[in-house]
Amino acid sequence: MARNNGELTTLPLTANPSGSGLIVVTLAMLAVGIVAVHSALAGVLPSTVSWHARSDMRHTLFAAAAAVIMCLGWRFRYRWLCGDTRKLPVTAIVLLAIAAMLALAVYVTPLGHMRNGRLRWLKIAPAPFGIFQPSELLKIALLVFLAAWYSRRRFEARRFGWGFLVPAIVTGGCLALVVTQDLGTGVIMAVAVFVTMFIAGVRWYALTGLLAAGVSGFWFFVVTDPQRMMRMKAMIDPWCLTNPSAYQPRQSLLAILTGGWFGKGLGRGIVKQQYLPERSTDFIFASFSEEWGFVGAMLLMGLVMLWIWFARRSAAGASDRFGFILAGALGAMIAIQMVLHIAVDTVAAPPTGMSFPFVSVGGTALLVTAAAASLIVSVSAHAEPEQETPPSG
């Protein structure tokens, strides 16, 4: 296969082991998520609830849509998001601007929707399918923008002004739109941006300054919020009975420990009987571990490691700088969230409302994360094919 008018020929999945592997592992995690969510919510929802109002049924529909996105979205030519590298990345800027305006609309329009005391959603249509979380789109759009920005020679990453200061200001503005109501998403965005800048080649002293600013900001938001401070203490001592924030970490540990080697069996978990809040979202790993045990948890973590490996291979095989940074950034973001979710459920990190990509109950998150994963596959599918060596003589 060869170039066609400067464009790369799309590789079939049979000739793209990294991309096909990523699709298979993602579909496997979606399947695990459907089983885990149905089991976690079994016996919890009243039988009188209509099917479209049930979280497990909605999750199945969204997971099916995410699977379709994974199987078809990889054919999308990711270079369209970059555009002409001699000009500004207009497409990426427009996408980021739309995502930022949607995130801002949560606070300044009547469409803002609050759940559990947090204002994170837009209600654009009647429930249950009309609720949208703009921060999920914003964190993807930000990484697409940074990848497109750093693919321009005029915005060399080693230049302080265009290569560091401008992206840092844009990142700060995006973080300001989500961090007050969703610290977990803000942390993921900040770490993913740091990884993106590292991949792009930003100088070490600029990254050190960015890291110091991020740590300072995290400390500020934790110390000034008594509830978040109590969550930090709950991570240190989950068995403290006087700290109400320690209840979830304690129940999460009990669920994992009582699962034993092979678990209590599918549908036989105890935590779903109202003992562990957010059993199908923030603590789905703990709920899964109780029923499938240590062996099942290790198999799920094995899928996570396989996913990270295939994503890394896809980025390493990119045909251009934009694809390399894009696949690396998106892969890092999803991998970071997977690892942090497991860390929260095992009380190695404070509870911050971190869902498990492809597994936890979700709507917007499932679709957007699947779209991000399909972009990674697109990078590997449109990598420059190897040229055949002409016969000698």
pLDDT by residue (tens digit) across 117-133?
Answer: 677 778 876 666 678 88
pTM, whole model, 2 decimals? Answer: 0.90
- Which long-range CB contacts under 8 A does 153-162 form with residues at least 24 apart? 153/85, 157/197, 157/200, 157/201, 157/202, 157/203, 158/201, 158/202, 158/203, 160/203, 160/206
204 CB-near residues (< 8 Å, 6+ apart): none
Q: Which whole-number Å values give the CA distances from 46 to 35, 40, 53, 55, 75, in the listed order?
A: 19, 14, 11, 12, 42
pLDDT in tens, 172-196: 999 989 887 788 888 899 999 999 9
Distance in angstroms (rounded) separating the CA atoms of residues 273 and 290: 13
Report percent pLDDT > 70 for the chain: 90
Distance in angstroms (rounded) separating the CA atoms of residues 149 and 140: 14
Asked if pLDDT for residue 391 goes beyond 50, the answer is no
Angle subtended at Cα 14 by Cα 391 and Cα 334, rounded to the nearest 5 degrees: 120
Asked if 283 contacts 308 with a C-beta cutoff of 8 angstroms, the reply is no
Q: Which two tokens stand for residue 234?
A: 């709950």
Q: Which two tokens stand for residue 235?
A: 């991570």
C-alpha closest to that of 24 among 303, 295, 291:
303
Q: Residue 126 carries which DSSP code?
A: S
87-91, 109-113, 140-144, 314-318: the lowest-pLDDT one: 109-113
Q: Which two tokens stand for residue 199?
A: 């991949």
